Structure 1
Amino acid sequence: DAGVAARLTRTVLGALEAEEVRRLVVVSAAPVGPEPEGDGFLDRTMRGIVSAVLKDIYADLREMEAELARSATDWTAVRPPRLQDKPLTGTYRRVVGGFPRRGRFLARADVAHAMLDAIGDRATVKQGVGVAY
């Protein structure tokens, strides 16, 4: 549901502050971040179509990320593309502050892997991290 991510994030940020917990890693979506440098016509077109169809969801995720940016939390937003139900590979591309060129898919298991990996990686703090095969 559009709106749930931002509302939930505000609640979680309040709970983290109350408990003096600083680290938070969330899942967002690739279209929320910057476009990959050098992407071709097909990737730009598909991203535009998907963004138009899911505009309310992506607006909610942008607001979620804005809530994070306004907070004192050491947050990371992991931004995958289209999710797949496939097994963990542990092998994917990652771009801090951007998105991998021609990144079209990623298994949910690899998204979880990327999120766990980000927990201890100081380079990802207060950053969006694009992940894809």
Structure 2
Amino acid sequence: MKLTVFGATGGIGREIVRQALDAGHEVTAVVRDPARLSVTGERLEVFRDDLAAPEAVRPAVAGRDVVLSGLGARSRKDAGIAARLTRTVLGAMEAEGVRRLLVVSAGPVGPAPGSEGLLDRTARGIVSTLLKDVYADLGEMEAELERSATDWTVVRPPRLQNKPVTGVYRTVVGGFPAGGRFIARADVAHAMLAMAGDPATVKQGVGVAY
């Protein structure tokens, strides 16, 4: 497949690029600073842009099969960036007629597991309060996707870890894995690539966790 990856220098985005290249895909990595992209490969094209306007991004998505995004706030001070930058991506995709899009959100933005225990429910409440601005930004990003013409999938992980890919995790379409507290960034990337061709995940939020 021909893929475009936004947020390619972030933890999840970099893993998407690496794993996609290993799988034989052609990858366009959209970055603000190419020097921060440590991944290399013969099938890799690096596209430099700060996502200020959809028109400038259109060449990066034109003719692609799937667009994947790891865009999002890295701290509370960056709250608002996910929705704003995703609007640019959506504008470019809709202008080019590219439909398949997968993005990263967060577990607390989606529905809680029906069997969630007191400890998990309490932890979810504390985290949601501490990161309320970040989660509000992700909620607005998800609303933008729902209003778009794309075949979107929102991937909602819990706390992220810097560990190697395992390919072993749980996913719940329209919900979240009960008791899921952690997942490696590499496995979030693995899940997103696996979902890219899965019609059951189109226009759905998908919880993913160990």
Deviations 1:75-96 (A, max 9, x none): 0000000000000000000000
Distance 2:194 2:143 in 1: 23
Query: Does 2:197 match 1:102?
Result: no
Cα distance, 1:74 vs structure 2 = 0.2
Distance 2:122 2:150 in 1: 35
Partner of 1:45: 122
Cα distance, 1:18 vs structure 2 = 1.1
Q: Which amino acid aligns with 1:38?
A: S
Superposed CA RMSD: 0.4
Q: Secondary structure at the match of 1:98?
A: coil
Distance 1:46 1:13 in 2: 33
Higher helix share: 1
Deviations 1:43-71 (A, max 9, x none): 00000000000000000000000000001
Q: Secondary structure at the match of 1:66?
A: helix
Q: Secondary structure at the match of 2:206?
A: strand
Unaligned runs of 5+ in 2: 1-77
Partner of 1:21: 98
Partner of 1:113: 190
Deviations 1:70-127 (A, max 9, x none): 0110000000000000000000000000000000000000000011011000000000
Distance 1:26 1:13 in 2: 11
Q: Which amino acid aligns with 1:90?
A: G
Match of 1:62 among 111, 122, 139: 139
Partner of 2:107: 30
Q: Which amino acid aligns with 2:150?
A: T
Moved over 2 A (4+): none
- In the comparison of the two structures, how many residue pairs are matched? 133
Q: Secondary structure at the match of 1:24?
A: strand
Deviations 1:11-62 (A, max 9, x none): 1000001111000000000000000111100000000000000000000000
Partner of 2:31: none
Q: Secondary structure at the match of 1:14?
A: helix
Match of 1:90 among 150, 167, 171: 167
Distance 2:102 2:209 in 1: 17
Q: Which amino acid aligns with 1:66?
A: A
Query: Does 2:94 match 1:12?
Result: no
TM-score by length of 2: 0.63
Seq. identity, %: 79
Distance 2:100 2:118 in 1: 37
Distance 1:36 1:72 in 2: 29
Cα distance, 1:129 vs structure 2 = 0.2
Unaligned runs of 5+ in 1: none
TM-score by length of 1: 0.99
